[in-house]
Each structure stands twice: as structure tokens, then as C-alpha cells.
Amino acid sequence: MSTPRKHRVVIIGSGFGGLFAARALKRRRDVEVTLIARTTHHLFQPLLYQVATGILSEGEIAPATREVLSGQRNARVLLGEVTGIDLDAHTVTHDVLGRETVTPYDDLIVAAGAGQSYFGHDEFADHAPGMKTIDDALELRGRIFGAFELAELAPTQAERERLLTFVVVGAGPTGVEMAGQIAELAQRTLRHDFRAINPADAKVILLDAGPAVLPSFGPALGAATQARLERMGIQVRTSTRVVGVDATGLDVVDAQGRASRIEAKAKVWAAGVAASPLGALLAEQSQSALDRAGRVEVAPDLTLKGRPEVFVVGDMMALDQLPGVAQVAIQGARYAVRTITARLDGRAAPPPFAYRDKGSMATISRFSAVVSMGRLRFSGFVAWLAWLALHLIYIIGFKSRVTTLLHWLVTFIGRGRAQRVTTAQQVLGRRALARLESGAQPKLPPVAEDGSPSAESGSPVRAGGGLASEDGTPVAGSQVN
């Protein structure tokens, strides 16, 4: 008697939404979970700025997804950039180094997250990296620490000042946290390490096109945050738009329309997000539309309109103006799983998704943070302790929690930072890869189709780079000559 086929749930993305969806299906022996992600790790994005400023290593906030799910026997992890979703055929196409794979699904959870938005000026990214990936954080670490190294060698005062000016664009939580840590790095960690310069002379400028700092936290906490930043010596300029970015500075326009220039070699872009391009693929094949940020409009049960087997969660979904924060992704993923399991068990579907706002937090400096939880708003040391505890809870893995806590003790109680290593590759790698012509991009060699056991048995890739589904059936028109 043949064994009945398991229900196939494919999850796109290994962020909070994707990982929590996979783990929520752990006890379902009748379900086969496939998680497809463009990276090999789960990223705890709220702490990226601490990687960029030398407090934490990338491994402490980015455990290997395979390791996290290694004990979950009904789950597997596939590496690849999703390049196509066929809603009629119920398949997902993904690519890694030119090798394409097609994975079929019965239910699909899309949790591909969001990238940085430069508001129509993608050329700004050349000189002002965002803060969305490990690569971004390592590049920024190289730029920030490298600026101090180059300032030590600068032959003129003008060049030294340019190198010791750090500009952070965006006064949301990421921008505030980044500005605060650059200031503490200059004033505490590096103060005895140089001879020709005084790192404490570094100028940190926080810019935002809006009228307030941390607008989502309310005016009182926003004002308190700005006051704290200014006491740290950080210049806060609100109602200031960036209209140009180049290798040596930024061009800005204030609320009165006055143009000016800020000379600065190190720039950080922490303003704006854009949903994954997969949103457009989904919208084209369904009755759902996209909002201005590229997010997909979903039904109250988080499914695409007219496609009850496709769920969109986290930063990619547009529903009730929910923010792009981790808790939206986590709660949405768990809701999608409850809906899927209810269908499999023949139970009634859960009521429409209702987000429970658990509040927001942001650190300003060591021993200082702000917390907004419903009607409760507070700042200072108690808020910082609350921030510390919550982030430790959500870091994946006991080992990561212990090492993170030790590094926080070294940095916040002492003045050291354990992760100060930088390389030229970290700083230059992103732009170098972007300049490669398509024919020069690295690719895997074709797999010989000789029928031997070594020829990647079970692989959905055919000789010459042709494309096949996971049962080995060739996909029409996919052969690469």
C-alpha cells in the first residue's frame, strides 16, 4: 500500500516570518516544509547596527538556518534567489549561481521581507550603504573604522574633517541607534587609540526629511530622544531632504528650501524600505494590487485575493497600514500556519488576522533607551534594561545569547569592542560585484547527465543548466544551450 503524499508547504524567506512559520509546523508529520532563502542564515535585523559598529559579530545575530531547523525532521532548507512564482502551476523557481530549481507547493507562505529604498535615487547606494543585510553591516563597519584610519593619515585639516564627519540619513529607530553608537565609538572606544587625531572630535549628523525624531513613538519620546542625542554631541537636522550623494558628501535642502552641502566621507542610509520585487510577481497573477511601497494587498486572512493557498506575511503584505516590524511578521506567520493546519484537519478557519501591538523600542546610547507600549511610554535606564531583556529573548540559540551578553558587558560597562576587524573586500565587494557584466557573473558548471549515482541524484537541475521540476520532469523551454 502506497504511503499518502505529505502536504507540501513552501516558505520563501528565512527572516522572522519565514523561520517562525517553519517552526510552527514542527509537530505536523503530515506536512513537508521547504524553506527557500537567498542566504544561508536567519538574520536578527534589529541588531545589525551593532555588527556595523563593532559590538557583535555577524554569527551572533545570524545563525545558520540549517542549524536552527536541524532538529525539525519535516523541514528542509534550500539556498536560492527566487526568480519566479507560477501561481497556476503551484511552483517556485529559484536560482543559485546560474543553477535553477523548481519546487512545487500545495500552500505557499511568502515572507521575503524588504530592502532599502532610496526614493527613486538608487545611485545614492554607491556612497551611502543601507542597513538590511550582513554584507551592508560589514561594509559599514569597514567604512566607519576606515574613516578614522584615513583621518590619521590625512595631510590637510579639510580632509581630516571630512573623514571625521559621519552622516546618518533617517531618524527612525535604526538611524537613531546607529548615530548613537558612532558617537559612543568615537568618544569612548577609540579615544586613546590614535596619535594624530582625537576621535572625540568626530562630528555625527542625523538627518531626516520629516519634522521629528522617532515619529512612531510619539512627540514626547521623540523630543526626549532628540535631546539625549544632542547632549551626546550629535547634530539632529529634521525637515531636511537629501537631494544628492557623492563620494565626498551630501547635498541637502531644508524646510525653507535653502540648499547646502555636508562634506562627509562616511554615510549611512537608514531611511525608507521597499518590499521585495516578488510582490509584483504575485500581483500580476492575482487579484491583489500593490501599494506605493510595493507591498501586496492581502485579504483579512493574509492570502492573495483569489488565491487561498498563497499567504503573504511581514514586510511584503499591505493590510490595515500595519508597520514593517518583526512582530507583524511573526504573528502573521503563526496565523498563516493556523489557517493551513485548520484546513488539513477539517476545522473551521480562524477569525481574520488581528495584530497585537507589543510596542516598540530603540536604544539611544548605553544605559539609555525609549519604549512605547500601548499607552505606556518611558525612557532612560529602565527602558534600556527592557530593551536588553527583550532582544536577548528573541536572539536564536543559547550560545548566541551568552556571547551577545558577554559582548554587551564588555562594550557597555567597559569601553571595548571585540569586532573591529575590517577588510578592503568588505568595503569594496558590493560595488565590485555590481559592476560585473552579466556574462562575468560567477556560475556553477553544468551537471553531467550520465545517470551515475554521483550526478546529484534527486536534483531538479538537468545537464547544460536546463531546468527540471523536483520529480525530474523537464520544464518546457528551460534548456540552456
Active site residues: 177
Count CB-CB contacts under 10 A for residue 172: 20
Give the CB-side neighbour count of residue 57, counting CA atoms within 13 A: 12
317 closest CA partner among 296, 333, 344, 335: 296
- Find the Cα–Cα–Cα–Cα dihedral 27, 29, 32, 33, rounded to 10°: 10
User: Among positive and negative, which fits the CA dihedral 71, 74, 80, 85?
Assistant: negative
User: Among positive and negative, which fits the CA dihedral 311, 314, 316, 317?
Assistant: positive
Angle, vertex CA 56, rays to CA 203 and CA 389, nearest 5: 100
CB 404 within 8 A of CB 412: no
